[in-house]
Structure 1
Amino acid sequence: MTTAEGPEAQDSLFESGPGEKHLLENVPPTLVHATLRLQFPPTYVIVGVYRLFTDKLLYVPAWDKCRHATRRGAIVGAIWAALTFSIQRKFIQIFLAKSPRVTGLSNETIFGYEVPFSVTTYAALLLLGSQITYILRFFLSRNIRIARDRAWTQTVVSRGKGPDFWQPYVEEWDVPPVVRLEPAWERFVKRWLGGWVGLFVVRRVILFPFNFYPFVGIAVAAAFKALGTAHNLHRPYFEAKKMNDKQIATFIEERKWDYRLFGFAAALLEGLPIIGLVFTISNRVGAAMWAHDLEKRQHFVAAQRDNRPDQ
């Protein structure tokens, strides 16, 4: 995932966003593809997946940290599946299949679409996949956090950058947007009611019927999580730059659609049953790659401001 001049050719990626003053008139031809990646941040999610699965310095430490917990969780999940699958399938057959107006289920179709196997079996597999994911997440909770942090650090190191690479925040817009900082109690309420609790209510109650469409429920949930997921993935970036709440809010507001698109793609992968846990690590890799390019842009803006003649 590099240009013809190698990874460091990305140092010149400085195409201005909406409302910004253009800092460079032209982009070198060799940087066109890299520039497009910067302009369309979801590509960094793909970069993260590619690097995690191809770079031994990333996937070996991650697997070493998570393999024992993964095996324990897989064993418990397999036992749970063997003991409860028939019960859950019967539950769905009795209660859900008898309420097609609520779930869109019938004996042969899902919202009018035929499936190659029993509808109740399909629904039970979806439900079971979600439960096994929660079991794995329980066993991996601590180790996977460590694996994500190491993935971020190793990605930054692979770019040849040390702690001094992250410089103080520089405002890139001539006229930055006005953002309103919420009181601490409002942020707390939004974080919990609008965070995993709110998402649980949305996914398990409001959007429950959509979960029986292949990937539709995951996509709708990803749309709700997009901005929060992107913010969380770039938290190490904001901490490295020692940005305050106002600077973070302004930075995200200036790139709100970039963060929403990146967050949607990242949340979509993380929402996949079981395998989504792997993507929580690859997304951290992709976020670090994006942060690297954003920081190069910050360096360029700072240099331009330092060289600007006094008005």
Structure 2
Amino acid sequence: MSEKVKEVVQEEFEQARVLTQDAVQSGAYVYPIKGIVYFFTHRSLWKPLAEKLLPTISLGVGVTMLMFAVAYVPQAAILTIFNGPLAILTTVLLVLSESSTIFSVLSKNFLVDEALIDTFDSTLLSRNLTALVSTERQIKSGNDPVAKLGKIVKKPFQRFTPKAIIRYFIYLPLNFIPIIGTILFVILQGRKFGPTAHARYFQLKQMGKKERDAFVDQRKAAYTGFGVPAVLLELVPVAGIFFTFTNTVGAALWASDMEQRETTAPTLRNQTELAKKSE
């Protein structure tokens, strides 16, 4: 049985290694950082967060403190058997991950879901993608991207499903494996996080499930590359709420760059064809 477990772990690690190489080559990992810079240099984007700041911070502090008070000691005792002295670090990461998951479920379902939609849409408006945003919501006149946001046709962000929660707890035992297990855990979490960050983009593009799945599958490594640093940022206690919004901005910036490439590519092809005809 132990040999089978080792074999599965080795296979997962090899897949994660290849995926990581492709993710690095995609360059998508920089968008969470771009999101931080863009957010803090565009004050107009602060309004959705400001309106939800106090209740969300209170929730984040409360969840994190409760989890460390209740879950840290028993989990540290178990992880010490497998990780030795490293258990101090791996248990902290584990409890932060658990706290982040609980916080994400509660906040995104009950506190900040509409604020994140507004942040994503207003970032696209600031990048002159009014036509894209207008497919799913009303747009008002003006220069302030947040003030221009009108009524939403329908909410895109899916609530945290039981399937996602079950998958999370299936991945938890990976933390028993020193260092490598924790890395795998974060990568697997990031792999699922990436496509979720573009839920609004898929809706604005009016993609069906098959089209969306194909789109994600073609960019699997890139979405993992985006998801891993985004997950790590949201693991930061309390400050994770800020990074939830900056990750949303980063996802919108990535979407806007995709749209620009989609628009530019046909133009370049047309120019090439015209050049060939003129020869």
TM-score category, normalised to shorter length: 0.5 to 0.7
Alignment of 1:25-174 (within 5 A): 39-71=26-58, 74=61, 80=66, 85=69, 91=74, 95-96=77-78, 100=81, 103-105=82-84, 109-110=85-86, 129=96, 133=100, 136-137=103-104, 140-141=107-108, 142-164=110-132
In structure 1, C-alpha distance between the alignment counterparts of 2:36 and 2:45, rounded to whole Å = 11
The structural deviation recorded for 1:284 is 1.1
Secondary structure in 2 aligned to 1:263? helix
The structural deviation recorded for 1:64 is 1.9
Paired residues of 1:218 and 1:268 also in contact (CA < 8 A): no
> In the superposition, relative to structure 1, how do residues 249 and 140 fare at CA in structure 2: closer, same or farther (>3 Å)?
closer
Q: TM-score if structure 1 supplies the norm length? A: 0.58
Q: Percent identity?
A: 23
Which deviations, in whole Å up to 9, do the C-alpha atoms of 1:6-30 show, x marking residues without a partner?
Answer: xxxxxxxxxxxxxxxxxxxxxxxxx
Matched residues, number: 226
Residue identity in the other structure for 2:107 = L
* Mapped pair 1:299 → 2:263: yes
In structure 2, C-alpha distance between the alignment counterparts of 1:242 and 1:132, rounded to whole Å = 33
In structure 2, C-alpha distance between the alignment counterparts of 1:287 and 1:49, rounded to whole Å = 11
The structural deviation recorded for 1:164 is 4.4
Alignment of 1:274-285 (within 5 A): 274-285=238-249
Paired residues of 2:124 and 2:256 also in contact (CA < 8 A): yes
Tell me the equivalent position of 2:250: 286
Tell me the equivalent position of 2:175: 208
In structure 1, C-alpha distance between the alignment counterparts of 2:45 and 2:208, rounded to whole Å = 30
Tell me the equivalent position of 1:262: 226
CA RMSD across the alignment: 3.8
Larger helix fraction of residues = 2
> In the superposition, relative to structure 1, how do residues 133 and 236 fare at CA in structure 2: closer, same or farther (>3 Å)?
closer
> In the superposition, relative to structure 1, how do residues 71 and 252 fare at CA in structure 2: closer, same or farther (>3 Å)?
closer
Alignment of 1:196-235 (within 5 A): 196-203=165-172, 206-210=173-177, 219-235=183-199
In structure 2, C-alpha distance between the alignment counterparts of 1:249 and 1:67, rounded to whole Å = 37
Q: TM-score if structure 2 supplies the norm length? A: 0.64
Which deviations, in whole Å up to 9, do the C-alpha atoms of 1:195-235 show, x marking residues without a partner?
Answer: 331122212xx22325x86xx76542221123321111112
The structural deviation recorded for 1:165 is 7.0
> In the superposition, relative to structure 1, how do residues 42 and 126 fare at CA in structure 2: closer, same or farther (>3 Å)?
closer
